[in-house]
Amino acid sequence: MLRINICQFAEIMERNGSEYTPVEPETVQAEEKEQGQEEKTEGTLELKTRFGNTQNVTLEVNAYVDNNSLYVGLTAMPYGVPEYYGDMTVNLLESVPPYCAFVDTNNMPELEDFLVKNGIAEFTGLMQKSGYCSYPLYLFDVEKMRKLCPDGMAAYEKKNGLDKKPEKKEKSR
């Protein structure tokens, strides 16, 4: 196996007509940040993770199979391809009020700040214990969720009969 060091590599590439210029780390970071901002599309939100970085995510809305309760998941697009990031909600009770869900603060403690700062949901004041963890119940903003994930919300509302418009009744005389 042929082994060369970086200086030898540069000399070989120079002889072949290639030119190299050093790039400052700050310039690379600025370019990466700009590219990341360009990739951010409508419906994409910034999640500040507990690890100190920021992840661009979109919401995935559906209903749990066993009870049709609200399911919300997160999808990231790290390389321009959708990738599962995590479950925002947990399925704890047989039924919860419409548009409500328990938030998985056990696996992602940063979710409460994310929900409130983005105006996605508000804490109801109720908690549900499961094992050693307590999960907060949040009421999700219907209009905001319809904007962020229209297809998922439509499916959730249809499964729960929430998509029906009230019938107009004629007034009796």
Type of residue numbered 46: E
Strand ordering across the sheet containing 121-130: 89-90, 100-103, 133-140, 121-130
| Domain-embedded: residue 2 | no
Q: Who contacts 141 (Cβ-Cβ below 8 Å, separation ≥6)?
A: 119, 120, 121, 122
| Domain-embedded: residue 173 | no
| Domain-embedded: residue 31 | no
Q: Which residue has the tokens 């963890």?
A: 133
Residue 25: its pLDDT value, please?
54
Domain extent at residue 119: 37-151
| Domain-embedded: residue 125 | yes
Q: Which residue has the tokens 């990031």?
A: 85
| Domain-embedded: residue 169 | no
Question: DSSP 3-state helix, strand, coil percentages of the chain (rounded to 5)?
Answer: 30, 30, 45
- What are the residue ranges in the chain where pLDDT is below 50? 27-29, 32-33, 35-39
| Domain-embedded: residue 156 | no
Give, for 114, the enclosing helix (H) or strand (E): helix 111-117
Q: Provide the greatest CA pair distance for the chain.
A: 97
pLDDT digits (tens, 9 = 90+) for 49-89: 888 889 999 999 999 999 999 999 999 988 878 899 999 99
Residue 129: its pLDDT value, please?
93
Residue 142: its pLDDT value, please?
96
Residue 35: its pLDDT value, please?
47
Taking the CA atoms of residue 25, residue 27, residue 30 and residue 35 in that order, the dihedral angle to the nearest 10 degrees is: -100
| Domain-embedded: residue 43 | yes
State how far the Cα of 104 lies from the Cα of 110, in Å rounded to an integer: 10
Residue 22: its pLDDT value, please?
58
| Domain-embedded: residue 167 | no
| Residue 166 DSSP one-character state | P
Buried b (16+ CB within 10 A) or exposed e, 65-76: eeeebbbbbbbb
The reported pTM is 0.71
- Name the nearest CA neighbour of 44 among 29, 28, 55: 55
Number of domains in the chain: 1
